[in-house]
Copies of this chain bind each other. A is one copy, B any other.
Amino acid sequence: MTAPSPRRSGGRAARQALRAAAPAEDQRSVRPGMSGGVYKPLSPEGIERIHQTALAALEEIGLADAPPSGIEYLTAAGAILGDDGRIRFPRALVEDMLAKANREITLFARDPRHDMTLSGARVHYGTAGAAVHMVDVKGRNYRESTVQDLHDAARITDVLDNIHFLQRPMVCRDITDNMEMDLNTVYATVSGTMKHIGTSFTEPHHVPPAFEMLHMIAGGEDKWRERPFMSNSNCFVVPPMKFATESCLVMEECIRGGMPVLLLSAGMAGATTPSTVAGAIAQSCAECLAGLVYVNAVKPGHPAIFGTWPFGLDLRTGAMSIGSAEQALLTAGCAQMHQFYGVPGGAAAGASDSKLPDMQAGWEQMCTNVTAGLAGVNMVYEAAGMHASLLGFCHESLILGDDLIGHAQRVVRGIEVDDVTLALDQIRSVCLEGPGHYLGTEQTLARMQSDYVYPALGDRMSPKEWAEKGKPDLIEKAIARKEEILAERSRARFNPVLDAEIRRKFNIHLTAG
């Protein structure tokens, strides 16, 4: 029997020493792109039936309202324009286009360490949306969102490990001209984070000047095309089964400029899709398949994300309910369809109906985020900061979302089973020879960083310690962290020469820093 080291002090000292050293990047217990997919709410038969329903809907019902250019692309590819103006998609065309589609895409970032490879069931979490309000947590107030709020969201996202990309979560309500708003959205986001960015252009003619700015930032069009660090979220469809004419034209512009597109079908179950989860997924798949045919008819293999985003609805009131339990099923089921089609996919999760970052927000955000991750959604959009059924964005909630998503990711990572983790030798030695506990064992210390996720702001103190420390409040801590982040100098800001050049060409609303 070997002499055990002193019971607690030895282990505690060693743990505290290890704790002082932040884990190296490759030692972190969670990271972007971990594979989910172990949670499968749909059976293989269910998946096949949804697919067949989508094909039937495309063949028999088709989509209305394609723009003339879209009609040209689609009919040239083999779609059929009916007398009723609807474009119908023969099954073989859909299958052909699925074969041509890009099955593994990289969403680049200005800092290559944040590049995201979308394939299989690899999971990434980020913001998204078009909130019109900012949540002022201190004042319990909703106010109009501004370009400064958007820039701050980008800056906060940039330093949060578990927020992997920034898709524009809110609109700049202080910029009334739509063209200026779109261009300032590009500026405010790109100058705030080195991570991949998603935006959403409102009009086709806004796209060329945006490319001009992006080329300047990238250091030339060739550099941009090599590593496009921005994608466009295209609400190319108005469910049920109508193309969004303008958005389709925006999409064509983005494809021409080498910008990846998110084919976003944002139906609402019970309003613009059937009220059933299966029906909502089937219609969303039909719509996104139509979008996929469209993209690949314009340019085969152009990077596109299959964006089935059916939303939940409160059927009693007709109001959107993104924090609902049904939302978790809608999104998880969509993930299985993405994997069935073998194309990169995205869906909405992690948003709350609650007005504030309260307990309801916590349970709603976690329910959809953890199930989306376990189902293997490649791009989990709206994953942090989003409140009031997508109407309000909250910086403090975004910061807390980093802890929440860290948790979800640890669950996605799953359970490793091998001789080392099964630990029979360790059990034997602790029980038969050792100190009777595992606290100070080498194996425990070795796994302290690599296996465990620790919250940054979440509290694990005992009631006694908590009281002694003045009963710290979660929201107060998030406010303090926000102020700390925004007081730092951002690594994403442009060099002064470039910044001056951009400001000469465009009316930039953010003041030069």
Contact = CB atoms under 8 A, between A and B. Distances in A.
A467 B140 CA distance: 10
Contact of A315 (B15, B240, B420): B15
Contacts of A274: 421, 423, 426-427, 438, 443-444
A460 interface: yes
A253 interface: no
Nearest to A466: B355
Nearest to A12: B318
A414 B329 contact: yes
Interface stretch (A166-174, A227-235, A400-408): A400-408
Interface in A433-485: 436-439, 441, 443-445, 447-448, 451-455, 457-463, 466-467, 471, 473-475
A1 to B, nearest CB: 12
B424 A53 contact: yes
A404 B53 contact: no
Contact of A282 (B364, B414, B423, B437): B423
Interface stretch (A38-46, A96-104, A205-213): A38-46
Interface in A372-431: 374, 388-389, 391-392, 397, 400, 403-404, 406-411, 414-418, 420-424, 426-428, 430-431
Interface residues of A, number: 131
B333 A415 contact: yes
A316 B400 CA distance: 21
Interface string A150-180: 0000000000000000000000000000000
A257 interface: no
A311 to B, nearest CB: 13
Interface stretch (A116-124, A289-297, A320-328, A505-513): A320-328
Contacts of A199: none
Contacts of A466: 355, 388
Nearest to A19: B316
A317 interface: yes
A63 to B, nearest CB: 9
Nearest to A409: B325
Number of this chain's copies in the assembly equals 2
A255 interface: no
Contacts of A441: 275
A66 interface: no
Interface stretch (A69-77, A189-197, A214-222, A265-273): A265-273
A438 B12 contact: no
Contacts of A475: 358-359
Nearest to A396: B359
Contacts of A302: none
B42 A240 contact: no
Interface in A28-70: 38-43, 45-46, 49-50, 53, 56-57, 60-61, 64
Interface string A16-29: 10010000000000
Contact of A460 (B12, B389, B423, B457): B389
Given A415-B333, A452-B326, A459 B355 contact: yes
A355 B281 CA distance: 39
A276 interface: yes
8 contacts: A8-B318, A57-B427, A275-B441, A275-B448, A276-B451, A325-B406, A354-B458, A364-B407
